[in-house]
């Protein structure tokens, strides 16, 4: 079971609003540009949360589906898509166990800020399932926080006001391996959320993609200004690496 599911079960209201988009804005927008959903494509938002990104995928004219482990988030996603008059199918599912879809049905899978909650084994199972449900030539986009944020000396490892702070759950973590951190995350109103998250090194995802018949084709780092690391909701285009994104195509 992914870590810290309680954050999403208990805070669905917060995650259903645009105010949830503190620093993550830069990852989501850049992820959509890279993924470039096309009209008529069938796409999955894996770990869709309250469905805000699934709705953006649907607005491109793609046939969008979303799934998430949290019933509360999926209820919120269904309500939001009805309000927005978008015809989207949402399912409660653990993406690290079984995706409730037939083989080779998707042209693309979008997975933003999800695998920070999943262990290496869970990531492996998700990528294997993504390969099963993806059509040949389809693309998988994975977006997670950048290792910079977890390094000793980064503003997020120091005890200062920051949009998110990380404390390692083991002594002297080696960032060449997956490891866990406690995350204290602040929204733009200063409210705190505490959860345990996984840091995963980028080579782990690349290796899992290759093992499962994906070819990584593009990788990008998304950066923010120094101020954005210390002031909530102040993200900007340059400065410290904050997210990395890997896109792979199914061979």
Ligand X SMILES: C[S@@+](CC[C@H](N)C(=O)[O-])C[C@H]1O[C@@H](n2cnc3c(N)ncnc32)[C@H](O)[C@@H]1O
Which stretches of the chain bind ligand X, using CB under 6 A? 2, 5, 8, 28, 47-49, 52-53, 68-70, 73, 94-96, 112-114, 117-118, 122
Kindly tell me which of 137 and 178 has the beta carbon lying closer to ligand X: 178
Cα 124 to Cα 99, 141, 227, distances in angstroms: 13, 15, 35
Q: How far is the CB of 153 from ligand X (least distance, A)?
A: 25
Q: How far is the CB of 36 from ligand X (least distance, A)?
A: 17
Q: Which two tokens mark 48? A: 């869709």
Q: How far is the CB of 94 from ligand X (least distance, A)?
A: 4
Q: For residue 71, give every residue at least 6 positions away whose Cβ sits within 8 Å of its Cβ, in sequence order, or none.
A: 9, 92
* Cβ burial, residue 34 (10 Å; 0-12/13-18/19+): middle
Residue keyed to tokens 């340059």: 238
Query: What does the DSSP assignment read for 185-210?
Result: EE-TT--EEEEEEEE--HHHHHHHHH
| Cβ burial 213-231 (10 Å sphere, 16+ → b, else e) | bbebeeeeebbbbeebbeb
Q: Is 2 left (phi over 0), alpha (psi -120 to 50) or beta?
A: beta
Kindly tell me which of 2 and 138 has the beta carbon lying closer to ligand X: 2
**Three-class SS state of 124:** helix
Q: How far is the CB of 53 from ligand X (least distance, A)?
A: 5
Q: How far is the CB of 12 from ligand X (least distance, A)?
A: 9
Q: Which residue is nearest to ligand X, using beta carbons?
A: 49
Q: How far is the CB of 2 from ligand X (least distance, A)?
A: 4
Q: How far is the CB of 187 from ligand X (least distance, A)?
A: 12
Kindly tell me which of 8 and 214 has the beta carbon lying closer to ligand X: 8
Kindly tell me which of 50 and 228 has the beta carbon lying closer to ligand X: 50
Kindly tell me which of 5 and 225 has the beta carbon lying closer to ligand X: 5
Kindly tell me which of 68 and 107 has the beta carbon lying closer to ligand X: 68
Distance CA 70, CA 188 (A): 23
Looking at residue 239, the DSSP 8-state letter turns out to be: S
């Amino acid at each position: 079971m992914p870590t810290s599911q309680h954050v999403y079960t208990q805070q669905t209201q917060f995650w259903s609003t645009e105010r949830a988009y503190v620093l993550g804005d830069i990852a989501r927008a850049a992820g959509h540009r890279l993924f470039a959903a096309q009209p008529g494509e069938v796409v999955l938002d894996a770990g869709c949360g309250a469905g805000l990104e699934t709705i953006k995928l649907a607005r491109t004219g793609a046939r969008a589906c979303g799934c998430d482990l949290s019933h509360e988030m999926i209820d919120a996603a269904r309500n939001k898509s009805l309000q927005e008059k978008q015809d989207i199918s949402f399912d409660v599912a653990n993406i690290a166990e079984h995706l409730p879809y037939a083989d080779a049905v998707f042209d693309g899978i979008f997975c933003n800020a999800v695998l920070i909650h999943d262990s290496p084994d869970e990531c492996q199972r998700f990528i294997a399932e993504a390969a099963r449900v993806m059509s040949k030539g389809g693309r998988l986009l994975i977006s997670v926080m950048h290792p910079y944020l977890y390094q000793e000396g980064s503003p997020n490892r120091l005890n200062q006001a920051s949009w998110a702070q990380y404390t390692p759950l083991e002594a002297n973590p080696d960032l060449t391996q997956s490891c866990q951190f406690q995350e204290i995350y602040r929204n733009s109103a200063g409210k705190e959320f505490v959860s345990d998250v996984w840091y995963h090194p980028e080579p782990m995802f690349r290796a899992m993609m290759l093992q499962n018949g994906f070819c990584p084709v593009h990788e990008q780092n998304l950066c923010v200004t120094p101020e954005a690391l210390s002031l909530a909701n102040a993200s900007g285009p340059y400065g410290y690496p904050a997210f990395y994104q890997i896109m792979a195509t199914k061979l």
